[in-house]
């Protein structure tokens, strides 16, 4: 094996010990000690692996001290380790020995015990610097990563609750000929599920629960079924000429169905994007289903910006009026198909209701 006789600056600024002298002993601890300035910019996992490697080196140094080589070889191994100067690549964070170990023999040989002690102190300082680097890396990740890509507190419950309550009122306001009988069944189910969700998670939507997720999906599904039933009956009544002879009630019924359609699809987008609001709050999924402008241009939004229910409701509103995506782009297949269905329902409802209302206006 080879021993060390000095230190040099290797690739990427590493301070390494070259192998020059041939000895018949196991490799020196100093030869395997590498100080990398790029370690401060690595991830915390990589830093922990480096700290573990340093701990192993420290243990090997202690064992090597017990089985030290001959007196003549001490100077080539331990003496060269003690000649390492202060590591410039560590910016003064680690103080390595600057003077050779004191000579204890008559022929000037170095003392391996003192050199091992100095080396142990250097390793301890490196471990401390590594700990500081890990903390700084984690702080930088929390600071630089946008909120929609990391774990956050979760959004508040009240916006969703208010909008669901509006959808329930709109469904109850429809005439009996356009509602699914019994007329109170679906609105009552939606109200019951909404009360249960508020009681289980009243303030912020951040609690993991498969039951709550299922209840939220059933609520949106019930609202979707009720509104689809009403829209289908309204379109059939217009086509068959049984929609009435006055424009006011027809416009009111069509407007209620259209607005409920906007709310229902906004709830679907909010509930399914990146696994739902709870999964988004915990930062579980990296790839979004909708690409908002703030994601593509993070300098246009504050660091703590993340999509909430109002953003998804706006996406649903613009898709129902423009019949195409406007600011947020659908990235996955289910989002594209959902927006296509919403556009078709909105277009058919608006076109037929407006056309019929214009014909019967006096």
Lowest-pLDDT choice from 48-52, 316-320, 331-335: 48-52
Residue 334 pLDDT class (50, 70, 90 cuts): very high
Share of the chain above pLDDT 70, in %: 65
- DSSP for 321-339 reads HHSS--SSEE-SHHHHHHH
H/E element, 2:
strand 2-4
Distance in angstroms between the alpha carbons of the first and the last residue of the chain: 104
Lowest-pLDDT choice from 117-121, 223-227, 258-262, 279-283: 117-121
pLDDT in tens, 75-108: 444 444 434 444 344 444 445 444 444 444 444 4
Higher pLDDT, 178 or 25: 178
CA angle 288, 294, 300 (to 5 degrees): 160
pLDDT in tens, 165-218: 999 999 999 998 888 888 899 999 999 999 999 998 888 888 888 999 999 999
Rounded to whole angstroms, how far apart are CA atoms 360 and 362?
6
- DSSP for 113-128 reads HHHHHHHHHHHHHHHH
Judge whether residue 20 has pLDDT over 50.
no
Judge whether residue 253 has pLDDT over 60.
yes
Judge whether residue 114 has pLDDT over 50.
yes
Return mean pLDDT, the chain. Answer: 74
| Partner residues linked to 19 by β-bridges | 4
pLDDT score at 59: 57
Task: Say if residue 182 is preceded by a cis peptide, omega within 30 of 0.
Answer: yes
Higher pLDDT, 143 or 158: 158
Domain boundaries, the chain: 2-144, 148-360
Please tell me whether residue 33 adopts helix, strand or coil conformation.
coil
pLDDT score at 126: 82
Judge whether residue 261 has pLDDT over 70.
yes
Q: Which of 264, 237, 263, 257 is nearest to 174 (CA)?
A: 257
Judge whether residue 305 has pLDDT over 80.
yes
Please tell me whether residue 55 adopts helix, strand or coil conformation.
helix
Evaluate if pTM is beyond 0.75. Answer: no
| Stretch 324-352: mean pLDDT | 90
Long-range CB pairs of 97-103, under 8 A, 24+ apart, other chains included = 97/122
| Stretch 263-274: mean pLDDT | 95
């Amino acid at each position: 094996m080879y021993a060390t006789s000095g230190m040099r600056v290797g690739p990427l600024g590493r301070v390494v010990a070259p192998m020059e002298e041939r000895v018949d002993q196991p490799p020196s601890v100093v030869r395997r000690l590498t100080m990398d300035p790029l370690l401060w910019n690595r991830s915390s996992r990589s830093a922990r692996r480096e700290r573990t490697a340093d701990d192993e080196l420290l243990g090997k140094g202690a064992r090597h001290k017990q089985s030290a080589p001959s007196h003549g070889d001490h100077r080539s191994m331990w003496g060269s380790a003690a000649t390492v100067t202060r590591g410039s690549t560590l910016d003064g964070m680690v103080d390595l020995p600057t003077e050779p170990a004191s000579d204890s023999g008559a022929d000037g040989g170095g003392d391996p015990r003192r050199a091992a002690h100095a080396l142990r102190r250097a390793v301890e300082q490196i471990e401390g610097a590594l700990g500081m680097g890990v903390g700084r890396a984690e702080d930088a990740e929390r600071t630089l990563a946008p909120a929609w890509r990391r774990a956050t507190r979760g959004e508040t419950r009240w916006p969703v609750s208010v909008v669901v309550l509006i959808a329930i009122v709109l469904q109850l306001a429809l005439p009996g000929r356009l509602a699914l009988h019994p007329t109170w069944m679906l609105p009552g189910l939606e109200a019951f599920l909404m009360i249960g969700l508020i009681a289980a998670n009243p303030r912020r939507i951040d609690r993991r629960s498969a039951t709550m997720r299922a209840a939220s999906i059933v609520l949106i599904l019930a609202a979707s079924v009720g509104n689809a039933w009403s829209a289908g009956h309204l379109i059939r009544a217009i086509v068959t000429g049984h929609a009435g002879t006055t424009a006011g009630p027809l416009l009111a019924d069509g407007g209620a169905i259209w607005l409920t359609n906007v709310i229902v699809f906004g709830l679907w987008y909010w509930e399914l994007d990146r696994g739902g609001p709870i999964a988004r709050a915990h930062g579980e999924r990296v790839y979004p289903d909708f690409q908002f402008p703030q994601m593509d241009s993070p300098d246009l939004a504050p660091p703590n910006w993340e999509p909430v229910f109002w953003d998804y409701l706006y996406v649903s509103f613009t898709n129902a009026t423009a019949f195409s995506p406007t600011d947020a782009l659908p990235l996955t297949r289910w989002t594209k198909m959902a927006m296509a269905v919403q556009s078709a329902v909105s277009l058919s409802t608006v076109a037929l209701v407006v056309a019929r209302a214009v014909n019967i206006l006096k």
